């Protein structure tokens, strides 16, 4: 394993030190949290210090590798599998987490090789693949963007959600790099404000022009012709092209459909779950009431609703494929029918 440093996660190979950037504190405070034990990573994933579908897969696999490496010869296979299960269960919706852990513990292979050396090689490959997939998605997606477009995005899908340039935000970054003179409308993304806190943070760093809006403002912007395209990420894509993404994505898809604006889901292949036939099979995480009763961030924690308020707080929703113009994956741009054909081919193998 080599040392590495991304915007969201870093590893010091000599010191066996794994750290993640605490995304709860962004944009004002850049604080790194050390992951000494896999149980730390489980906590960081649950509390969204580390978040974004591709990133939680990478973070979980690195914490498993580092733990085995630091305890060489002291852990048997059963213990390693138990730890991997705890990591696997940290969050239920983003399939990248399960995909990465399954790759680490070689699910489906009869004979397992759970040595630190081997786990390190697999973690490295997961990271390299994610970086490459971000680049490929960005290039495919940017080819669709017309000069001067204003693009709406929801949640955060950039470098803090991946170990590369991002998914939907990667396309935006690439289109900006290509001089397409784009403008980005950023949904603040209640309740945890990933758009307002994180996407703005990344766009500021990159010098990409943007306007922050509240989630209930997209409709009038669309009606007034101010948005030409919607790009969002995905946490799990089913065989039929339905996909789960941050709560609120479905509303944006309905609005885009009504206003005849192209709407694209963007994700690496590690987000495609061919075991899910449709969106109905995707498990949706529900989170605690306090997130809806108030807000928290680098400004601290505030509550405006009574602490006894009953709330509904699903972290994700499912956008049905009929509302999706195309899915932009690292292997290309797919219509619903093309994705179905692709799924069938994979199943036949
Ligand atoms: C490249 S990130 C794609 C998705 O993971 C992203 O859109 C999203 O919904 C993140 O949700 P979060 O709850 O912040 O992890």
Kindly state whether residues 117 and 226 are assigned to the same domain.
no
Give the model confidence (pLDDT) of 142-201 as tens digits: 999 999 999 999 999 999 999 999 999 999 999 999 999 999 999 999 999 999 999 999
Q: Tens digits of per-residue pLDDT, 251-285?
A: 999 999 999 999 999 999 989 999 999 999 999 99
- State both tokens at 123: 């973690």
CATH at residue 305: 3.40.50.10470
User: From CA 81, how far away is CA 98, in angstroms rounded?
Assistant: 13
The residue among 133, 153, 184 that closes a domain is 133
- Tens digit of each residue's pLDDT (9 = 90 or more) over 320-346: 999 999 999 999 999 888 877 877 677
Q: Residue 109's domain is classified under what CATH number?
A: 1.20.120.420
User: Is the whole-model pTM more than 0.90?
Assistant: yes
Domain shared by 14 and 76, yes or no: yes
Distance 71 CA to ligand 1 centre (A): 32
Residue ending a domain, among 133, 167, 190, is 133
**Where residue 349 falls among pLDDT bands split at 50, 70, 90?**
low
My answer on whether 172 and 281 are in the same domain is yes
pLDDT tens digit sequence for 6-55: 999 999 999 999 999 999 999 999 999 999 999 999 999 999 999 999 99
Ligand 1: distance of its center to the CA of 349 in Å?
30
For residue 298, the CA-to-ligand 1 centroid distance in Å is: 19
Residue 72 shares a structural domain with residue 162: no
- What is the ipTM score, two decimals? 0.98
Whether residue 303 sits in one domain with residue 240: yes
Q: Which residues have C-beta atoms less than 6 Å from ligand 1?
A: 48, 51-54, 94, 155, 157, 161-162, 166-167, 194, 233-235, 245-246, 315
Same domain (yes/no): 143, 42: no
* Ligand 1 centroid, distance to 347 Cα (angstroms): 27
109: burial class by Cβ within 10 Å (0-12, 13-18, 19+)? exposed
Which atom of ligand 1 has the smallest separation from the CA of 232?
Answer: 7
Do 116 and 140 reside in the same domain of the chain? Answer: no
> Six-digit token pair at 217?
């403002």
Q: Which residue among 94, 164, 173, 315 has the greatest number of ligand 1 atoms within 8 angstroms of its CB, and so is best to mutate?
A: 94
Q: Which domain holds residue 235?
A: 134-348
Residue minimizing CA distance to atom 7 of ligand 1: 233
Number of domains in the chain: 2
pLDDT above 70: residue 348? no
């Amino acid at each position: 394993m080599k040392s590495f440093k991304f915007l969201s996660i870093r590893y010091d190979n000599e010191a066996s030190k794994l750290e993640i950037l605490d995304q709860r504190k962004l944009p004002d405070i850049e604080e790194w949290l050390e992951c000494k034990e896999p149980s730390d990573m489980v906590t960081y994933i649950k509390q969204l210090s580390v978040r974004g579908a591709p990133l939680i897969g990478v973070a979980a696999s690195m914490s498993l590798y580092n733990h085995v490496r630091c305890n060489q010869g002291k852990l048997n296979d059963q213990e390693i599998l138990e730890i991997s299960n705890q990591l696997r269960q940290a969050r239920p919706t983003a399939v990248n987490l399960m995909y990465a852990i399954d790759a680490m513990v070689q699910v489906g292979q009869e004979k397992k090789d759970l040595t630190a050396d081997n786990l390190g090689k697999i973690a490295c490959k997961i990271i390299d693949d994610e970086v490459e997939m971000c680049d490929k998605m960005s290039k495919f997606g940017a080819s669709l963007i017309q000069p001067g477009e204003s693009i709406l995005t929801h949640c955060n899908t950039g470098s803090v959600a991946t170990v590369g340039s991002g998914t939907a935000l990667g396309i935006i970054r690439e289109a900006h790099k290509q001089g397409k003179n784009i403008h980005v409308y950023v949904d603040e993304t209640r309740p945890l404000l990933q758009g307002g806190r994180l996407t703005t943070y990344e766009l500021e760093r990159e010098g990409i022009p943007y306007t922050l809006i509240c989630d209930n403002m997209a409709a009038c912007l669309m009606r007034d012709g101010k948005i030409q395209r919607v790009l969002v990420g995905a946490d799990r894509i089913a065989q039929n092209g339905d996909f789960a993404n941050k709560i609120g994505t479905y509303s944006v898809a309905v609005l885009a459909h009504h206003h005849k604006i192209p709407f694209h889901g963007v994700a690496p292949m590690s987000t495609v779950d061919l075991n899910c036939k449709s969106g109905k099979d995707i498990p949706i995480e529900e989170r605690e009431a306090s997130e809806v009763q108030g807000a928290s961030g680098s400004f601290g924690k505030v509550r405006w609703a009574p602490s006894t308020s009953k709330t509904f707080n699903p972290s994700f929703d499912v956008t049905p494929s009929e509302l999706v113009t195309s899915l932009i994956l690292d292997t290309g741009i797919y219509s619903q029918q093309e994705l179905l054909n692709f799924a069938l081919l994979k199943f036949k193998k």
